[in-house]
Amino acid sequence: MNRELAFVMVTPHTLAKSRTGGVIARYLARTDLNFVGARLFNPSPALIQEYAHSIRHSDGVPEVNTLIADYILKNFGVNEKTGRHHRVMLLLFEGIDAIAKIWRVTGPARVRAECGETVRETYGEYVQDPDGTVRYFEPAVLIAPTLERAKRTLTVWKRYAESDGGLVQSSVVFPEGNIERTLVMLKPDNFRVPSLRTGSIIDVLSGAGLRIIGIKKFKMTVAQAEQFYGPVVDALSKKFKDIGTDRAVAALSKEFGFDVPAEPCRTLCESLGSVFAKWQFESIIEFMTGYRPGRILEDDKENVAREECLALVYEGIDAVAKIREILGTTDPSKARPGSVRREFGSNIMVNAAHASDSAENARREMEIIQVGADNITPWITQYYS
């Protein structure tokens, strides 16, 4: 069977209702496909018109095509109340029989009201009057039922990936306050096997009342990871003096059979701090990239990457503090019940997600991983050139 590239387009309504996590969880848990790309758009009038025209004149049931095309024209444009652009999220999934697998999880546009099996049955709406007139239609997501439709749609969106996509504007006008942007990065432990984890974490984060304005599925290179986590080296070295002293006192006292005083152990740990920091730093890089930096040539570090990550940029009042509160403390065992790290983390390193600790660091980290860069075009070109 052939490998295919399918897409899921999360509608402005689904994004505004913060249902994105639940939607993503369905596709990651109910298929064996590879989640390979993600990008947010503020669709321009040109993109909206071209996409709607493509749908209206596609294969399939004419009535359904017209329903979807009209929906796009009405709902993808500028928010009439705020004058700001709506957001649309494009997700890419790759694998054997990808088009059919995405279709089965999604369900038809004209959903059954009495069931919640598919994404559209749970998150969409299709309401008719007694005479058959469609009173209300919200598909929750848009997909391609055929390979030809996928090719036509993604070819259109690829042309606008740079101009209309990246870090986007939210259609929401926030009240007066400290408006911040912050970065959340879901770590590789969330992508090792198909599961609900990624979507569930996004769902928990929706409790912050913020808006997602950027998303990128990527593999962090060794060079990026070294720059990203570089500031932790000094902190790790200083921290070892405290955490190492207690452990050294306990271990040496047990080994030699007498109470070893703390001061010489503290001196020992001060001298070992840099050794510990380097070892811990390399372990972090290996976890995030799949490679230990000491074993990689300098010239190769820009290109070497194996592990999957998902970056999300949130915007809103006091975004940094709100996200960190929901994420929980670095050590999952000490995080509060219900927090992301308590529910999904394993230890200090394998703790599900990273969050920026300040707006300034968020800007630095977003620049390092190039969170607004277009990395969906290569996938679309590979399959539908």
Task: Write out the DSSP string of 342-370.
Answer: HHH--SSSS-SEEE-SSHHHHHHHHHHHT
Mean confidence (pLDDT) of the chain: 93
- 141 & 263 share domain: no
Residue 112 or 66, more confident: 66
Question: Of the residues 278, 300, 322, which one is the last residue of a structural domain?
Answer: 300
Q: Are residues 269 and 374 in the same domain?
A: no
**pTM > 0.85:** yes
Lowest mean pLDDT among 6-10, 213-217, 272-276, 317-321: 272-276
Would the CA dihedral through 127, 132, 135, 141 be positive or negative? positive
Indicate if 340 and 359 belong to the same structural domain.
yes
Q: Are residues 72 and 145 in the same domain?
A: yes
Domain count, the chain: 2
187 and 247: one domain? no
Domain boundary among 300, 326, 352: 300
Four-CA torsion 381, 382, 383, 385, nearest 10 degrees: 40
Same domain, 318 and 287: no
Q: Which domain holds residue 235?
A: 226-300
Cβ pair 178, 53 in contact under 8 A: no
Question: Are 138 and 12 part of one and the same domain?
Answer: yes
Looking at the structure, do residues 204 and 117 belong to the same domain, yes or no?
yes
- Estimate to the nearest angstrom the gap between the alpha carbon of 270 and the chain centroid: 39
Helix (H/G/I), strand (E/B), else coil: 110: coil
Residues 96 and 197 in one domain: yes
For residue 383, give both structure tokens: 């399959």
Are residues 65 and 16 part of one domain?
Answer: yes
- 354 included as an active-site residue: yes
Boundary-marking domain end, from 300, 334, 359? 300
Mean pLDDT across 342-348: 89
